[in-house]
Every structure is written in C-alpha cells, then in structure tokens.
C-alpha cells in the first residue's frame, strides 16, 4: 500500500448543527451530491488522496434511542436506515437523490468511498425480523450506498456473532465484492472478526493497545485486518492545536503500518500539508 493510501480523508456529513437538515453539513441543497464531489472530493483527489470516509451521509436523528448491543444497552442517534428515513421527507430530496450517480464514477475508478452508517445491532425495526430477512432488509436500507459501490462502515458492529444478522450482512457484503469495516475492534473472544478491517478512534485505540484490557479486548497482535485509526474530537492536552497534534502523531502511525482517518479540510485550513503527515 502506498503511503498516501494510508490516509483517509474524513467528512463528518451528519455532524452539523441544523436538525431540519438532519444535521447534514458539506452537502448543499442547491448542489446535492454532485456538488459535494466537485467542492470537496475533487480538490482532495488533486492532492493525491484516494480514500474518503463519509460519516452518516444521510444524517442522524435529533432524539436518541436505546438499542441492545450484545448484552449492553446503548444510546444512539445513528440509524442504519438513515437514507430510508430521510427519503420519507420530500423536502430532503437533495440529500437522498443522486448519491450513487455522484459516487459511482469515483469508485469504479479506484477511489474508495467509505460510507459509515448507523447502529444496526439491536435496531428494533430489524431485530423483530427473522435473521435472514433482517440481513436482506438491512442491505436494502443502504441500497444507494451499495449502488455506488461504497465500502460500508458498520457502527457498533463488534458485538455481533455468526448467525446474527449484522455479522451475516458483513459476510454477504464481502462475498459480493464490497469492503466492510467493523467498529470499533473485536472482543478477545470475537475470533470471527479478527481478520476484519476495523475503524476505531485513536482514543479507543489507546485502550486496545493497553495490555491491561486484553482480557476483554482483542490484543493488536490478534488483528490481521487493516486498522483505520480516526483522529477525531478535541485536541488532547499537550498539543497547542490540531496541526501540531496531527504532525506529532500521524507520521509515526503511518510508519507503523496503520491507516489514519483525518478531517483534512480542517487540517489544511490550519496550514498543514499532506507531505508533513507522510513523514
């Protein structure tokens, strides 16, 4: 893998502030997904980047709900079927239409678009179905993403086991030629996920890397899939600003063989450059 491919450019699509737009940012109603590609993806491609992550591309909910993930109740604003929910609002056609048409020309030319979708495990609209039907319904709920040949990031999927519809969906995607990403990393007894590529925040990776947690979390040495570490959130103590944080930590991670997922638009605005990240 070329060093530049160890950098994934991150866009927190569903991380905006306007609930009437399902908290979507970067995608503008007057320009839609074709405009997003022209305004955001194309300039980054011109810098040599070939991998992109779109977090919650069809937005998120305003009210959290509880979902049973494994044996733990978790609160989430992130619905796996966000596209289907958004498509029920005629005023959001700019968000739900044209996604595949904008992304397919990229993915068929070697650009990876990772569509990070919401929490499927424990979602009541799928939990109530037989496992086989739930798997197919879950696939249909992200149909435009699959039509676009996106890779799929499966939020909070690590607790699923063989025979469960989340695990079965991941295997169906793999067998159909799609790449999926587990989130975050497997439990120590989750051998069925050890070869899977994983998306994990760098803060979470600190916990995974701590030998004291290896009785619960799988040790890094057990994981053979690509590890995509995300530099998200507030700048940790000890760094003056985001650029300093990235430049002090990302080159080392790349040298160690990890993939780094970064909101590069912000980093570049701070005056950072891609070569500085590659070391």
The domain that holds 227 is classified in CATH as 3.20.20
Give pLDDT, residue 267. 95
Mean of per-residue pLDDT scores for the chain: 96
Residue 195 pLDDT > 80: yes
Give the burial string for 16-46 (b: 16+ CB within 10 Å, else e).
Answer: beeeebbbbebbeeeebbebbbeebbeebbe
Confidence category of residue 2, pLDDT binned at 50, 70, 90? confident
Measuring CA to CA, how many Å separate 74 from each of 10, 68, 217? 25, 6, 18
Residue 102 pLDDT > 80: yes
The boundaries of the domain holding residue 99 are 3-278
Q: What value does the mean pLDDT take over residues 88-114?
A: 97
Tokens representing 183?
């989130």
Cα separation, 220 vs 215, whole angstroms: 12
Give pLDDT, residue 28. 97
Contact 251, 220 (CB under 8 A): no
Burial of 123 (0-12, 13-18, 19+ CB in 10 A): buried
**Count: domains in the chain:** 1
Nearest to 23 by CA among 92, 75, 88, 74: 92
Give pLDDT, residue 64. 96
Give pLDDT, residue 71. 86
Confidence category of residue 233, pLDDT binned at 50, 70, 90? confident
Residue pLDDT, tens place only, 45-80: 999 999 999 999 999 999 999 999 988 999 999 999
For 67, other C-beta atoms within 10 Å of its C-beta total: 22
Residue 1 pLDDT > 80: no
Q: What value does the mean pLDDT take over residues 205-220?
A: 96
What is this structure's pTM? 0.97
Cα separation, 27 vs 87, whole angstroms: 16
Give pLDDT, residue 70. 85
Give pLDDT, residue 163. 95
Residue pLDDT, tens place only, 33-44: 999 999 999 999
Residue pLDDT, tens place only, 114-136: 999 999 999 999 999 998 999 99
């Amino acid at each position: 893998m070329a060093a530049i491919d160890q950098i994934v450019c991150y866009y927190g699509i569903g991380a905006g502030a306007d609930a009437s737009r399902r908290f979507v940012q970067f995608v503008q109603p007057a320009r839609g997904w074709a405009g997003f590609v022209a305004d955001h993806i194309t300039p980054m491609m011109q810098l040599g980047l070939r991998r992109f992550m779109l977090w919650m591309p069809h937005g998120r909910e305003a009210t959290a709900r509880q979902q049973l993930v494994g044996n733990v109740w978790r609160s989430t604003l992130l619905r796996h079927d966000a596209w289907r929910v958004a498509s029920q609002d005629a005023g959001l056609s700019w968000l739900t239409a044209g996604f595949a048409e904008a992304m397919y020309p990229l993915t068929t030319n070697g650009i990876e678009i990772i569509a990070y979708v919401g929490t499927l495990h424990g979602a009541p609209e799928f939990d109530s179905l037989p496992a086989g039907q739930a798997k197919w319904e879950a696939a249909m709920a992200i149909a435009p993403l699959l039509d676009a040949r996106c890779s799929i990031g499966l939020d909070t999927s690590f607790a699923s086991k063989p025979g469960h519809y989340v695990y079965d969906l991941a295997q169906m995607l793999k067998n159909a030629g799609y790449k999926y990403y587990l989130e975050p990393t497997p439990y120590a007894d989750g051998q069925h996920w050890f070869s899977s590529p994983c998306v994990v925040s760098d803060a979470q990776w600190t916990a995974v890397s701590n030998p004291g947690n290896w009785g619960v979390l799988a040790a890094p040495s057990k994981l053979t899939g690509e590890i995509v570490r995300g530099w998200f959130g507030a700048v940790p103590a000890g760094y003056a600003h985001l650029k300093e944080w990235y430049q002090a930590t990302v080159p080392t991670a790349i040298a160690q063989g990890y993939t780094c997922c970064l909101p590069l638009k912000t980093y570049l605005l701070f005056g950072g450059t891609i070569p500085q990240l590659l070391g």
